[in-house]
Amino acid sequence: MDATHFADRFTTTLRHLRGVDLHSASDVDLRTALAHTVRAELIDTWQTTHGNPSTTPQRHVAYLSAEYLLGTQTRNALLATELTDTAREALASLGLSLDDITSREVEPGLGNGGLGRLAACFMDSLATLEIPATGYGIRYDYGIFRQTFQDGNQHEQPDTWLAHGSPWEISHPERAVTVHLGGHVDGDNTTRRWVPERHVLAIPCDYLVPGYKSHTVNLLRLWSARATDAFDLTIFNSGDYEKAVAARTYAETISHVLYPEDSTPQGRTLRLTQQYFFAAASLHDLLTRHLKAGRSLHTLPDAVTIQLNDTHPVIAIPELMRLLLDEHGLSWDDAWHITQQTFNYTCHTLLPEALEVWPLDILGPLLPRHLEIIFAINHHFLDDLRRSGADELRVRSMSLIQEHPVRAVRMAHLATVGSRTVNGVAELHSELLRTSVLAQFASYWPDRFTNVTNGVTPRRFLALANPELASLISDTLNVGDRWLKDLDLLRGLEDHVDDPAFIAAFREVKHNNKERLARTLANRDGIELNTNAMLDVMVKRLHEYKRQSLRILHVITQYAKMKNGLIDLATVTPRTVFFGAKAAPGYRLAKETISLINAVATTLNADDEIRPYLSIAFPANYNVTLAETAIPAADLSEQISLAGKEASGTGNMKFALNGALTIGTLDGANVEIRELVGPDNFFLFGMTEPDVVQRQRDGYHPHTVYEQSADLALAIDTISSGAFSPSEPGRYESLVSDWLWNDRFMALADYEDYARCQEAVDRHYANPDQWTRSAILNVARTGFFSSDRSIRDYQTRVWQRPTK
């Protein structure tokens, strides 16, 4: 398609779809028409790839995930279809700017953080690698909350991403699937029949996922909940309007909002309802397609492999059993064989509190037949275990049912028993799964466990986010942009690490990216960014284990020392410390940390003497769109979780690929990043995972650490003195006392080594050639972290056809 053709289609779409001409078009009209123009291209490709699914030789991959953190769509679709320049030229010929139009696109924030973003990267790689796949999830009306700061405190606003419609979505109400809930189970010992009490419709809302320069467009199918009947007319006519729409309200609540507050029993039931809702609708979809192609259910595992993204979709395991047993009349053994060969489970955590358990008094009333099936699976499993010689202690600890403090289903155990393969998301994480969290399962079924280290898509996080670096790479490697599909080619940059012209160009790109970030922050947040300072970035969800507190304590020490004349300002490497973080609405300590960071930012940034040397930028509402501007500008990437707590991290990979150096612990994928980039190009500090275990065993007393470290004490005492909260000196008492007397994630224990390591960072940065060399080597050596490689690993380690 040439620019004239594109312009023509665009104006036609504007007229036919929006009923406006160029002169009367609003922003939303322009955005919508542009999206539809590009979407039409994708649909044409989609129809050729998915015309006849039954002839596809590969297994179809079904990715089940409660979260997809997609980011904006238009620029990515243009990149994939190689239409960016055409669109730019076409719009310019109409007096419009592509960048203007796309910069106002609203991102669907249907995820919380890394797990949801990983799912989006995987969808991109599946399509790019031309693997037939469908992503299944929930089309939340409201995604992750929009964060605002009021007096430095986090406030949550609803994320109204659908306010102006979603031009990328194709919804099919006519293809709704019915999902059943509640009720009871009838029948005798041999035939059981679920008699549900409620029914809701699941409407498929499809998003096309284009592969980069590939012939494949896959589908992301998100389910939206609707009532089976709009309202009860009899009740309506009697005048009780609220009651007349009650069923509708109930149904629509299911896909209303991402992760509703789960501290109340009502909230928990809703969460489980969401999980079952999308698992059931997705399985219905998969089975219908399989049967329509004329295949037997016995061949399901040959045709489809289902990847469970964490435990959120694990209720799909008993649901498939139910369908095979109750609806299709298969024997238990056959149904179990099919189920167990179809599912795979990816675990994304090591924190015990993040391993989901569903109390029987929540699961039973909602899914009575599923609970029976879970008990039956457990019965068979525990029998096998006992036959293998396991003692009762072992049987109890491996059971799918936990007895204390309340009887509950352990979803990670159900997932492990019901899957062919279980994987962790980085080498260290997979190892810890095998040796601690799921150790007993790993010794019972050693072959079931494997590792697939996470990855990120270079299309979004290099080509789109860092176009200047992308074109420098293309110019330097002389392979066109082939490297975007074969990221190991970045290795070729090593040949240029001593080339002065390349070094200068690389440095200029970094500087330009800082200028671009500065413009974004000025417009978006009214924040002024010092583009001549080192940009030191920590962006991720706010959680104690990630240790934003460690970062801010060190900033406070530096500030206090500068103020007290303990540091000669003339020797200081100027830094801007950038934070982006949302806290879960009910997570008190996390919210206090946000407040403290904002308070310190206010003090530092208002201090004319200090600001040129040390300042903080903390824009609210960090999201994928902001990440795309912030990451390419970063010099230093903070990956400072307590060793053994961050399963992998994916932000760490995005930074390294964009030429930031990491300061980090030996945690998650940091371990692999350091191995690849080399110890000279990575700032390592802190306890190792075995150190952490030992220290906890020996008894950890943070107060003693505080007493023994003058610098740490200086930071904490400065907070306690009210330096950042003059009108309320005790404002941060809860944080301070948690550090001193609890410090579950041992920020204090790692403080001294972290401070030492930050000095090494300053020394390295003081030599710009040395720093740039390390930055280039980070880019050159981290091609491994392409999500294309992760998907290939899934193909060889997880998605192989079962052998009979």
Number of residues in contact with ligand NBG under rule CB under 6 A:
16
Catalytic residue among 59, 369, 516, 540: 540
Least distance (Å) from ligand NBG to the CB of residue 306? 18
Beta strands in 581-695 (DSSP E): 614-617, 636-639, 661-664, 683-684
x/- track of binding to ligand NBG for residues 178-197 (CB under 6 A): --------------------
Min separation Cβ 348 and ligand NBG, Å: 3
Q: Check binding of 746 to ligand NBG (CB under 6 A).
A: no
Q: For residue 632, is the peptide bond before it cis, meaning its omega torsion is within 30 degrees of 0? A: no
Q: Which stretch binds ligand NBG (CB under 6 A): 337-345, 348-356, 582-590, 759-767?
A: 348-356
Smallest gap from Cβ 464 to ligand NBG, in A, equals: 21
**Should residue 650 be labelled a site residue for ligand NBG when binding is judged by CB under 6 A?**
yes
Instruction: Considering the complex, state which of residue 123 and residue 647 has its C-beta at the smaller distance from ligand NBG.
Output: 647
CB 737 within 8 A of CB 703: no
As measured in angstroms, the least distance from the Cβ of 526 to ligand NBG is: 31
Q: Give DSSP secondary structure letters for 716-766.
A: HHHHHTTTT-TT-GGGGHHHHHHHHHT-TT-HHHHHHHHHHHHHHHHHHHT
- The stretch near ligand NBG (CB under 6 A) out of 108-116, 183-191, 457-465, 495-503 is 108-116
Which residue of the set 139, 496, 654, 773 is catalytic?
654
Place of tokens 């024997």: 331
- Degrees, nearest 5: CA angle 311-337-360: 40
Distance CA 317, CA 416 (A): 10
Q: Are 477 and 493 in contact (CB under 8 A)?
A: yes
End-to-end C-alpha distance for the chain, whole angstroms: 48
> Least distance to ligand NBG from the beta carbon of 104, Å?
29
Which residue in the block uniquely carries the two structure tokens 């390419």? 632
115 makes contact with ligand NBG (CB under 6 A)? yes
Is 701 an active-site residue?
Answer: no
Enter the DSSP assignment of 786.
Answer: B
Tokens 């080509």 label which residue? 463
Token pair, residue 693, equals 């275990």
CB-based contact 218:134 (threshold 8 Å) = yes
H helices of 526-567, where? Answer: 548-563
Catalytic (active site) residue 591: no
How far is Cα 135 from Cα 501, in angstroms, rounded to an integer?
Answer: 44
Structure tokens at 679: 């110890």
Please state, as a whole number, how many other Cβ atoms lie within 10 Å of the Cβ of residue 523. Answer: 10
Per the residue annotation, which of 348, 429, 645, 789 is the catalytic one? 348
Quote the least distance from Cβ 56 to ligand NBG, whole Å: 28
167 binds ligand NBG (CB under 6 A): no
Closest CA to 177 of 284, 272, 250: 284
Going by the DSSP 8-state scheme, the letter that residue 257 receives in this structure is: B
Query: Smallest Cα–Cα separation from 682: which of 777, 786, 553, 598?
Result: 777
Taking the complex as a whole, how short is the minimal distance between the CB of residue 338 and ligand NBG, in angstroms?
28
Q: Determine, following the binding rule CB under 6 A, whether residue 111 of this chain makes contact with ligand NBG.
A: no
Choose the catalytic residue: 226, 370, 541, 764.
541
401-402 β-sheet, strand order: 357-359, 408-410, 401-402
**Should residue 647 be labelled a site residue for ligand NBG when binding is judged by CB under 6 A?**
yes
Q: How far is the CB of 648 from ligand NBG (least distance, A)?
A: 4
Per-residue DSSP letters for 127-149? HHTT--EEEEEE--SB-SPEEEE
Burial class (CB within 10 angstroms; exposed 0-12, middle 13-18, buried 19+) of 407 = middle
Any catalytic annotation for residue 781? no
Does residue 668 touch ligand NBG according to CB under 6 A?
A: yes
Q: Does 3 bind ligand NBG (CB under 6 A)?
A: no
Minimum Å gap between C-beta 654 and ligand NBG is 11
Does the annotation mark 510 as catalytic? Answer: no
Residue 650 Cβ, how far from ligand NBG at the closest point, in Å? Answer: 5
Q: Which is nearer to ligand NBG, 115 or 748 (CB)?
A: 115
Site string for ligand NBG, 753-782 (x = CB under 6 A): ------------------------------
> With respect to ligand NBG, which residue has the nearer C-beta, 8 or 431?
431
Task: Please pick, among 128, 134, 453, 650, the residue that the annotation labels catalytic.
Answer: 650
Nearer to ligand NBG, 454 or 625 (CB): 454
In the numeric block, which tokens belong to residue 113?
């953080």
Measure the CA angle with vertex 181, ends 178 and 183; round to 5°: 130
Output 206 or 544, the one with its CB closest to ligand NBG: 544
Tokens (6 digits) for 760: 């090494």
Least distance to ligand NBG, CB of residue 111, Å = 9
Residues 6+ apart with CB under 8 A from 565: none
Q: Are 81 and 42 in contact (CB under 8 A)?
A: yes
Pick the stretch among 110-118, 161-169, 194-202, 497-505 that binds ligand NBG (CB under 6 A).
Answer: 110-118
Given the rule CB under 6 A, which of 112-120, 294-302, 358-366, 369-377 is the region that contacts ligand NBG? Answer: 112-120
Q: Compare residues 260 and 301 and give the one whose CB is closer to ligand NBG.
A: 260
Active site residue 540: yes
Nearest to residue 138, comparing CAs of 339, 273, 268? 273
* 541 has catalytic annotation: yes
Which one of the spans 151-159, 372-380, 644-652, 761-769 is the region binding ligand NBG (CB under 6 A)? 644-652
349 contacts ligand NBG (rule: CB under 6 A):
yes
Residue 483 contacts by C-beta under 8 Å, 6 or more apart in sequence?
458, 473, 474, 477, 489, 490, 492, 783
The yes or no reply on residue 454 touching ligand NBG (CB under 6 A) is: yes
CB of 112 to ligand NBG, least distance (A): 7
The reply on whether position 425 binds ligand NBG by CB under 6 A is yes
Kindly tell me which of 628 and 646 has the beta carbon lying closer to ligand NBG. 646
Of the pair 341, 349, the CB lying nearest ligand NBG is at 349
Q: What is the spatial distance between Cα 486 and Cα 465, in angstroms, rounded to a whole number?
A: 18
Q: Cβ atoms within 10 A of the Cβ of 179, count?
A: 24
Binding mask 291-320 for ligand NBG (x = CB under 6 A): -------------------x----------
User: 136 or 381: whose CB is closer to ligand NBG?
Assistant: 136
CB neighbour burial string for 104-131, b if at least 16 within 10 angstroms, e if fewer: ebbbbbbbbbbbbbbbbbbbbbbbbbeb
Is residue 348 a contact point for ligand NBG (CB under 6 A)?
yes
Q: How many CA atoms lie within 13 A of 720 on its CB side?
A: 12
- Single out the segment in contact with ligand NBG by CB under 6 A; choices: 55-63, 111-119, 243-251, 763-771: 111-119
**CA–CA separation, 604 and 598 (whole Å):** 10
Asked if 395 and 378 touch (Cβ cutoff 8 Å), the reply is no
| CB of 676 vs ligand NBG, minimal distance in Å | 17
Residues 351-410 that bind ligand NBG (CB under 6 A): 354
Asked if 545 and 640 touch (Cβ cutoff 8 Å), the reply is: no
Instruction: Compare residues 350 and 775 and give the one whose CB is closer to ligand NBG.
Output: 350
Q: Which is nearer to ligand NBG, 607 or 793 (CB)?
A: 793
Segment contacting ligand NBG by CB under 6 A, of 113-121, 242-250, 700-708, 717-725: 113-121
> What are 146's strand-pairing partners?
157
Distance CA 685, CA 640 (A): 9
Active-site residue (options: 36, 312, 546, 731): 546
Sole binder of ligand NBG in the list 114, 132, 137, 664 (CB under 6 A): 114
HSE value, Cβ hemisphere, 13 Å, CA-based, for 260: 19
Q: Which is nearer to ligand NBG, 554 or 654 (CB)?
A: 654
| CA neighbor of 624 nearest in space, from 20, 264, 156, 119 | 119
Catalytically annotated residues: 348, 540-541, 546, 650, 654
By the criterion CB under 6 A, which residues form the site for ligand NBG? 113-115, 118, 310, 348-349, 354, 425, 454, 646-650, 668
